[in-house]
Structure 1
Amino acid sequence: MVTAEYSAHHLQVLEGLEAVRKRPGMYIGSTDSRGLMHCLWEIIDNSVDEALGGHGNRIDVVLYRDGSVEVRDQARGIPVDIEPRTGLSGVEVVFTKLHAGGKFGGGSYAASGGLHGVGASVVNALSERLDVEVDRGGKTWAMSFHRGEPGLFADSGEPRPDSPFTPFRDRSELRVVGKAKKGVTGTRIRYWADRQIFTKDASFTSDELVQRVRQTAFLVPGLEIVVRDERGEESVESVYRYDGGISEYVEFLAPDTAITDTWRLTGTGTFTETVPVLQPTGAMIPTDVERECHVDVALRWGTGYETVCRSYVNIIATPKGGTHQQGFEQGLMKVLRTQVEQNARRLKVGNDKLDKDDILAGMSAVLTVRLSEPQFEGQTKEVLGTPAVKQIVASVVTKELAARFSSAKRDDKAQTALLLDKVVSEMKARISARSHKETQRRKNALESSSLPAKLVDCRSNDVNDSELFIVEGDSALGTAKLARNSEYQALLPIRGKILNVQKASVSDMLSNAECASIIQVIGAGSGRSFDIDTARYGKIIMMSDADVDGAHIRTLLLTLFFRYMRPLVEEGRVYAAVPPLHRVVVINPGSKPNETIYTYSEQELHQLLAKLTKSGRKWQEPVQRYKGLGEMDAEQLAVTTMDRAGRTLRRVRVQDAEAAASVFELLMGNEVAPRRDFIVSSSDSLARERIDA
Structure 2
Amino acid sequence: MATATPSNYKASDIEVLEGLEAVRRRPSMYIGGVDHRGLHHLLWEVIDNCVDEFLAGHADTIKVTLHKDGEALTVGDNGRGIPVDKHPKYKKSALEVILTTLHAGGKFSDKNYARSGGLHGVGSSVVNALSSEMVATVHRDGFEWIQRYKRGRPTTPVKKAKPFKGHGTLIYFRPDDEIFRRIAFSTETIRQHLEDISYIHAGLKIRFTDEAKNETDEFYQPDGIKAYIEKLTKDEKKKPVHEVIFSTEKDDGQVKTELVLRWTEATDEQIRSYVNGIRTHAGGTHLNGVRSGILKAVKNYMDVHNVKPKGVSISAEDIREGMLGVVSVFHGDPMFQGQTKEKLNNPEVASIVEGLVRPTLETWLNNNASIADSILGRIILAARARQASRDAVAQVKRKTPGGKRTSLPGKLLDCRSNDAGESELFIVEGDSAGGTAASGRNSRTQAILPLRGKVLNTESLKINKVLANQEISDLVETLGAGVGANFDIHKLRYNRIILLMDADADGYHISTLLLTFFYRHMPELIRQEKLFIAQPPLYRITTSKESMYALDDMHKEQILASLAANRKVEISRFKGLGEMDASQLKETTLDPAKRVLLKVEIESQVDADETFHQLFGKDASERYRIIMSESALADDLDV
Normalising by structure 2, what TM-score? 0.61
Counterpart CA distance in 2 for 1:300 and 1:120 is 40
1:390 is aligned to: 350
2:315 is aligned to: 354
User: Is contact 1:224-1:240 (8 Å) kept?
Assistant: yes
User: Is contact 1:467-1:490 (8 Å) kept?
Assistant: yes
Deviation at 1:43, TM superposition (A): 2.4
State how many pairs are aligned.
Answer: 545
User: Is contact 1:225-1:239 (8 Å) kept?
Assistant: yes
- Residues 541 and 262 of structure 1, relative CA distance in 2, 3 Å threshold: farther
User: Is contact 1:458-1:487 (8 Å) kept?
Assistant: no
Does 2:389 match 1:422? no
User: Is contact 1:62-1:227 (8 Å) kept?
Assistant: yes
Residue of 101, 104, 109 corresponding to 2:106? 101
Gaps (5+ residues) in structure 2? 1-16, 418-422, 440-447, 538-574, 590-595
- Residues 135 and 105 of structure 1, relative CA distance in 2, 3 Å threshold: same
Measured against aligned partners, the alpha-carbon deviations of 1:327-359 in whole angstroms (never above 9, x if no partner) come to: 212212211322444577642267x5734x554
Residue of 40, 47, 50 corresponding to 1:47? 50
User: Is contact 1:311-1:321 (8 Å) kept?
Assistant: yes
Measured against aligned partners, the alpha-carbon deviations of 1:625-676 in whole angstroms (never above 9, x if no partner) come to: xxxxxxxxxxxxxx97756549999999555998876422235559x8xx87
Counterpart CA distance in 2 for 1:160 and 1:22 is 9
RMSD, aligned α-carbons:
6.2
- Residues 460 and 333 of structure 1, relative CA distance in 2, 3 Å threshold: closer
Does 2:267 match 1:304? yes
Deviation at 1:576, TM superposition (A): 12
Counterpart CA distance in 2 for 1:490 and 1:43 is 45
1:149 is aligned to: none
User: Is contact 1:558-1:657 (8 Å) kept?
Assistant: no
Counterpart CA distance in 2 for 1:460 and 1:84 is 65
Counterpart CA distance in 2 for 1:465 and 1:365 is 34
Counterpart CA distance in 1 for 2:400 and 2:90 is 73
Does 2:614 match 1:666? yes
Residue type matched to 2:208 in 1? V
Residue of 185, 188, 204 corresponding to 1:206? 185
Percent identity at matched positions? 23
Does 2:171 match 1:189? yes
Deviation at 1:189, TM superposition (A): 1.8
Map 1:201-600 → 2, pairs under 5 A: 201=180, 206=185, 212-221=193-202, 223-226=205-208, 228=210, 239=217, 241=219, 243=221, 245-246=224-225, 252=232, 257-258=238-239, 260-261=241-242, 264-271=245-252, 290-291=253-254, 293-298=256-261, 300-305=263-268, 307-341=269-303, 346-348=308-310, 354-355=315-316, 357-371=317-331, 373-377=332-336, 380=339, 381-384=341-344, 389-408=349-368, 410=370, 413-422=373-382, 426=386, 437=397, 448=407, 457=411, 498=456, 500=458, 502-504=459-461, 506=463, 509-510=466-467, 515-516=472-473, 518-520=475-477, 524-527=481-484, 528-529=487-488, 534=493, 555-565=512-522
User: Is contact 1:42-1:120 (8 Å) kept?
Assistant: yes
Residue type matched to 2:63 in 1? I
Deviation at 1:393, TM superposition (A): 1.8
Deviation at 1:399, TM superposition (A): 3.1
Counterpart CA distance in 1 for 2:517 and 2:286 is 34
Counterpart CA distance in 2 for 1:127 and 1:536 is 37
Counterpart CA distance in 1 for 2:125 and 2:48 is 14
User: Is contact 2:136-2:169 (8 Å) kept?
Assistant: yes
Determine helix, strand or coil for the equivalent of 1:55: coil
Deviation at 1:25, TM superposition (A): 9.9
Gaps (5+ residues) in structure 1? 1-17, 147-158, 168-172, 272-289, 472-479, 579-638
Residue type matched to 1:30 in 2? M
Measured against aligned partners, the alpha-carbon deviations of 1:49-81 in whole angstroms (never above 9, x if no partner) come to: 334547333421446869765322344544678
Counterpart CA distance in 2 for 1:24 and 1:652 is 23
User: Is contact 1:136-1:186 (8 Å) kept?
Assistant: yes
- Residues 531 and 493 of structure 1, relative CA distance in 2, 3 Å threshold: farther
Normalising by structure 1, what TM-score? 0.57
User: Is contact 2:436-2:581 (8 Å) kept?
Assistant: no
User: Is contact 1:100-1:117 (8 Å) kept?
Assistant: yes
Counterpart CA distance in 2 for 1:116 and 1:641 is 45
Deviation at 1:524, TM superposition (A): 5.0
Counterpart CA distance in 2 for 1:64 and 1:680 is 25
